[in-house]
Amino acid sequence: MSKGTLYLIPTTLGKTPENNTIPEFTLAVIRKLEVLVVENIQTSVKFLQWVGDTIPEYKIDFYPLNKNTPDQEIYSFLKPLKAGKDVGLMSEAGAPAVADPGSKLVKMAHQNGIKVIPLVGPSSILLALMASGFNGQSFSFHGYLPIDAKARKQMLIQLEGESRRHDRTQIFMEAPYRNNEMFKSVMETCGPSTRFCVATDITLPEEEIRSLEIGEWKKIQKPDLNKRPTIFILYGK
């Protein structure tokens, strides 16, 4: 029996009145899948309803996968793939396995000779980089920086220095309810000539993307980023 395919399914970055990010081919794959590995079943069902014309949710086998899912349980998700069924790994927002759980399942699929196909969809990280005007040839994504204020400041100093020395764009994020605190830390820590991009609500009607030197940011009214998905980008020159 031939093995199934693991499809990596991007989702929208938030609620949009119309589809402006998911290609029709990706939607067509989603609509045929009977097995989905998801971070949250409830939000995944809402996304399927947004997609429309999918297999009824009561006929779909959902396998929850989050950062706390043990490896042995993740390995069990390969069973339908080994039995010849196609499976979708679905992100909560954006691209799966990129600042998102799921990379362990992808690794296990490769180790077991299962075909893995990434599908096209939005990635807030790449979209923010594209819009920043910073170096797109050399860049690093650092996920979440330390919560502790002192450790966060040390990390920002380190990232700024590396960016200057290596001409490297530094990308990071924060939990939405701590965005304003992160913005304040960058303003207090980084030099006035360092460039800083704040990309908020990407692809949504409220989207705001601004890319200025720290010195320029300090001259204008600071943005209210509270509870708004945001990507931060530093570029020290």
Using the predicted structure, report yes or no on whether residue 1 has a pLDDT greater than 80: no
Q: State the CATH architecture for 5-118.
A: 3-Layer(aba) Sandwich (3.40)
Q: What is the pLDDT of residues 29-39, one digit of tens each?
A: 999 999 999 99
Q: Would you state the torsion angle of the CA atoms of residues 183, 207, 66, 85, taken in this order, to the nearest 10 degrees?
A: -160
Question: Cα 65–116–140 angle (5° rounding)?
Answer: 75
Strand partners, 230: 200
Strand partners, 8: 89, 118
Using the predicted structure, report yes or no on whether residue 203 has a pLDDT greater than 90: yes
pLDDT band with cut points at 50, 70 and 90 for residue 194: very high
Q: Averaged over 72-80, what is the pLDDT?
A: 97
Using the predicted structure, report yes or no on whether residue 15 has a pLDDT greater than 90: no
Residue 177 carries which DSSP code?
Answer: G
Is 103:97 a contact under the CB 8 Å cutoff?
Answer: yes
> At residue 223, what are phi and psi to the nearest 5 degrees?
-75, 150
Q: Which homologous superfamily does the CATH classification assign to the domain defined by 124-235?
A: Tetrapyrrole methylase, C-terminal domain (3.30.950.10)
Q: In the sheet that 115-118 helps form, which strands lie side by side, from edge to edge?
A: 61-64, 35-38, 87-90, 5-9, 115-118
Query: If you compute the radius of gyration of the chain from its CA atoms, what whole number of angstroms results?
Result: 20
pLDDT band with cut points at 50, 70 and 90 for residue 231: very high
User: At which residue do the structure tokens 């701590």 appear?
Assistant: 178
**Of 59, 53, 10, 51, which Cα lies nearest the Cα of 34?**
59
Q: Averaged over 95-107, what is the pLDDT?
A: 94
Is residue 70 classed as helix, strand or coil in its secondary structure?
coil
pTM over 0.85: yes
Q: What is the pLDDT of residues 20-65, one digit of tens each?
A: 999 999 999 999 999 999 999 999 999 999 999 999 999 999 999 9
The domain locations on the chain are 5-118, 124-235
